[in-house]
Amino acid sequence: MRWIPVWLMSVALAACSALPAQGPSSAVISSEQVTADAQLANYTIVKLDDAAISVLRHYQPQSFANKFGSVPASNGVLQLGVGDAVRIHIWEAAPQGLFSTEKSKQSGIDAVIDESGFIFIPYAGRVRAAGLTVEGLRTTVQNKLIGKAIEPQVLVQVLHNQSNSAVVIGDVVKPGRYPISIGGSRLLELVAVAGGAREATYETVITLKRGHRSGTARFEDLIENPANNIRVASGDNILLSHRPRSFSVFGAVGKEQLVPFRTQEVTLAEALAVVGGISDFTADPAGIFLFRFEEAGLVSQMTQRKFAPSVTSGTPVPVVYRLNLRRADGFLRARFVQMKDKDILYVANHPTAEFGKFLQIISPLLSNVSTVNRLEFF
């Protein structure tokens, strides 16, 4: 009977992995086998040291810009298209002309470019306008009036540039169709013309639909990374959506919960503080893990990992960041790690916490065995 406690101890320690727990231990996360047939298991573990934090702070994602490519600037040249409204001013050298009167030597004719790309000018007939610049249309109309009007002079004014415009809808102050400037407009410029976002910029997502391609980015990504503030192309559809951000916290913390962003930026240190910090009795200070998806280009810079050719620089891949708060500098590093939308923060249990659970489970058994031994002694 005296060997029973030793036997129970051996069996229970061998089965520690079956004890109730809030999640995987630090050892399990760090030694997880990467499998080729499980995409989510193929994560990369990144130690949050000074080198990794430096890359995180200076990396500028450009997946949004790369998805659409570049739209060349118009260099101040506007091409007319179907639906555009123009006003044709025609001057003549004498008051007895076709377009002049005793009160004025000029007439203004409003026209809209029809579905065939033409406008109609009296005495000049149908004039092709679609595909021409403003100067090209002016020259065409003026040449057609030579010999009919008295020394005609023509001026073309664009009233509505319907063919060179984009639609801005969603959570903006003034949704509608807005013309693209002659010099070219960028996303932020067109949103500003539409009155700007209704909600806070850090809670606003912008989606661009161009033909069969579409892309989504946080509004602040366009401000922080100017490369993502791409030029707008004719026919683009721009949607602004209010999407509040949040992150989840699990494990050995004061309170497991879903935490909404209250400010534009929340650091890892602030995230831990919001949930009451880590547990004094069960947490492993060296096992603070942050789960998220990052662009493959960023992961390659931090770890030198090589991905398959099918994985582009902007492809999101699973990453697990590990922070060690047993070191004093770990708290300083936590100040420079920014939380992102849908992040999962997990604090692992310390190995001794699992052993404590084991002792609570077997203590009644040990007590019973001790009682039996005492009875046998007597």
115-145 pLDDT, tens digit each: 999 999 999 999 999 989 899 999 999 999 9
Read off the pTM.
Answer: 0.69
Residues 339 and 254 in one domain: yes
Q: Which of the pair, 276 or 23, is modelled with greater confidence?
A: 276
Residues 303 and 255 in one domain: yes
Residue 369 has a pLDDT of: 44
Q: The tokens of 207 are what? A: 């989606």
C-alpha span between 251 and 301 (Å, rounded): 30
Residues 309 and 234 in one domain: no
Residues 69 and 212 in one domain: yes
Residue 378: inside a domain: no
Residue 38: inside a domain: yes
CA distances from 266 to 68, 125, 243, 247, 320 (A): 30, 66, 16, 10, 18
C-alpha span between 302 and 242 (Å, rounded): 32
Residues 69 and 213 in one domain: yes
Residue 38 has a pLDDT of: 39
Residue 376 has a pLDDT of: 53
Reported as a pLDDT band with limits 50, 70 and 90, residue 163 is: confident
Residues 251 and 345 in one domain: yes
Q: Which are the contacts of 205, defined by CB distance < 8 A and separation ≥ 6?
A: 216, 217, 218, 219, 240, 241, 242, 243
Residues 229 and 184 in one domain: yes
| pLDDT for 302 beyond 60 | yes
Asked if residue 63 lies in contact with residue 93, where contact means CB atoms within 8 angstroms, the answer is: no
The enclosing domain of 118 has a CATH number of 3.30.1950.10
Q: Which amino acid is at 132?
A: L
Average pLDDT rounded to a whole number, residues 23-50: 65
Spatial CA neighbour of 230 closest among 267, 276, 190, 193: 190
Q: What are the φ/ψ torsions at residue 256 (nearest 5 degrees)? A: -75, 130
Residue 12: inside a domain: no
Residues 257 and 289 in one domain: yes
- The highest-confidence range among 77-86, 188-197, 223-232, 311-320, by mean pLDDT, is 188-197
C-alpha span between 85 and 119 (Å, rounded): 10
Domain count, the chain: 3
Residues 99 and 195 in one domain: no
> Could you report the per-residue pLDDT of 326-355, keeping only the tens digit for each?
998 999 999 999 999 999 999 988 877 565
Q: What are the φ/ψ torsions at residue 129 (nearest 5 degrees)? A: -120, -30
> Could you report the per-residue pLDDT of 66-98, keeping only the tens digit for each?
888 766 665 556 788 998 999 999 998 887 788
Residues 69 and 189 in one domain: yes
Average pLDDT rounded to a whole number, residues 261-286: 91
Residue 18: inside a domain: no
The enclosing domain of 232 has a CATH number of 3.10.560.10
C-alpha span between 128 and 327 (Å, rounded): 75
Residues 303 and 335 in one domain: yes
Q: Which domain holds residue 327?
A: 23-53+245-352
Residues 126 and 41 in one domain: no
pLDDT, the chain, mean:
82
C-alpha span between 111 and 94 (Å, rounded): 25
Residue 128 has a pLDDT of: 94
